[in-house]
Amino acid sequence: MADIAIRNVVKRYGDTQVIHGISIDIAAGELIVIVGPSGCGKSTLLRMVAGLEVITEGEISIGGRVVNRLEPKDRNIAMVFQNYALYPHMSVFDNMAYGLKIAGRPKGEINERVQKAARMLELSELLDRRPRQLSGGQRQRVAMGRAIVRNPAVFLFDEPLSNLDAKLRVQMRLEIKQLQRSLATTSLYVTHDQVEAMTLADRLVVMNQGVAEQIDTPLEIYERPASTFVASFIGSPSMNFLPGEVDGDGTSIALAQGPRLRAMGQALGQHGGRSITLGVRPEHLAMVPEGEEDFHLQVGVVETLGADILVHGKLVEAGAAARQAKGEGGSGIIAARLPGSARVLEGERLPLKVASGLLHLFDPESGKRLVEV
């Protein structure tokens, strides 16, 4: 167990800068998930912690010791790779024991530690097999076992579940979490899957284009996303964004598409007259009786999920005859997540209300969060 400090870390390949100064403090025993779209630099960051990439600028320390110049083996870490990277010609036992053998541990101890890890991961029956003879989930376990036996201070996971099928992924996700809890080993986990990120993380790092947009607990990130990027990346389907303007007295928001949202409360006062981007999560829209609605949704497509339905459509002004969205800003296409019991027909006009207190306001230029509403 050890804490990790990442300080102003920068990575450049030649002239191309891929990581623009990231700082994260990770407490001992914490499970941090780094999430972001492809090419955002999340794997590069992890590989710098692992020692597989050179750190261009900044400092990474593990357990209080700066590791910038240390070889991976001297950093007291273990890594689980996306494609498992098991040695194909070695048995499961040898795969798990290889690191210990190199470290020159006595045979008895190696045997004991591998057996213990194998029991923990239910691999005891498979120790003589070759990786080729294992299923995807079992290979994944062996890769974890290889990390566990070395009893490292830090686990690094590089998208370890993305090669598994959906069902197995859910199961392994749970196992990883339980394992990490019981071993209480500080862990860095990279993924592009937001569900994995939300469910596993003690704290989340949302990365975009080499910058950490927000570092916080999953719930905090869901409830108070720091930018439109974070807001759209976390949550599925992603948050609806509607351009609009706050009225002079700060009591309502006029959407570019026409509808006006009233009774916004005191918080808007300081932004009177300002252009904003309004964010509403699909699950915070509710179907209401005609007359109480904030706006109508011209239903395009309905996706049935069972527990919920997803309604995709175009926003139209309440009451008004089907009026085209104004040219400026935003298509007005939004999604709503409604209870599965709701009967919605394609082509219908649906009266919708925004749940109060669950709106997000962002600056249209910078995408940064403005106020709590």
Partner 1 sequence: MVENRPWLTVLQHFVLLCGVALVLFPLWIAFVASTHEGRALVAGVIPLLPGDQMVENYRTILTAGMQGAGGASVGTMLLNSLIMALSIAVGKIAISLLSAFAVVYFRFPFRMLCFWIIFSTLMLPVEVRILPTFEVVANLGMLNSYAGLSIPLIASATATFLFRQFFLTVPDELAEAARMDGAGPFRFFKDILVPLSRTNIAAIFVIMFIYGWNQYLWPLLVTTDESFYTIVMGIQRMVTVADSYPRWHHAMATAVMALLPPTLVVLIMQRLFVKGLVETEK
CA 44 to chain CA centroid, Å, is 16
Under the binding rule (CB under 8 A), the answer on residue 89 touching partner 1 is: yes
Under the binding rule (CB under 8 A), the answer on residue 181 touching partner 1 is: no
CA 286 to chain CA centroid, Å, is 26
Under the binding rule (CB under 8 A), the answer on residue 83 touching partner 1 is: yes
Under the binding rule (CB under 8 A), the answer on residue 103 touching partner 1 is: yes
Lookup result for tokens 């998208």? 159
Our CB check for partner 1 shows the closer of 150 and 281 to be 150
Under the binding rule (CB under 8 A), the answer on residue 69 touching partner 1 is: no
Report, in angstroms and rounded to the nearest whole number, the Rg of the chain calculated over CA atoms. Answer: 25
> Phi/psi of residue 6, each to 5°?
-110, 120
As beta bridge partners, residue 190 has 34, 158
- Alpha-carbon span 116 to 290, nearest angstrom: 64
Under the binding rule (CB under 8 A), the answer on residue 162 touching partner 1 is: no
Residue of the chain from 52, 70, 183, 358 that contacts partner 1 (CB under 8 A)? 52
- Alpha-carbon span 166 to 97, nearest angstrom: 30
- Alpha-carbon span 2 to 225, nearest angstrom: 29
Under the binding rule (CB under 8 A), the answer on residue 78 touching partner 1 is: yes
Our CB check for partner 1 shows the closer of 51 and 279 to be 51
- Residue count, binding to partner 1 (CB under 8 A): 23
- Neighbouring residues of 284: CB distance < 8 A, sequence distance ≥ 6: 354, 355, 358, 359
Under the binding rule (CB under 8 A), the answer on residue 56 touching partner 1 is: no
Under the binding rule (CB under 8 A), the answer on residue 99 touching partner 1 is: yes
Structure tokens that stand for 6 in this block: 């990442």
Under the binding rule (CB under 8 A), the answer on residue 136 touching partner 1 is: no
As beta bridge partners, residue 227 has 368
Our CB check for partner 1 shows the closer of 55 and 204 to be 55
Our CB check for partner 1 shows the closer of 88 and 291 to be 88
Q: Which stretch binds partner 1 (CB under 8 A): 33-41, 77-85, 185-193, 240-248?
A: 77-85
Q: Residue 96's closest CA among 46, 41, 134, 44?
A: 134
Under the binding rule (CB under 8 A), the answer on residue 54 touching partner 1 is: no
Name the site residues for partner 1 (rule: CB under 8 A): 50-52, 71-73, 77-79, 81-83, 85-89, 98-99, 102-103, 146, 150
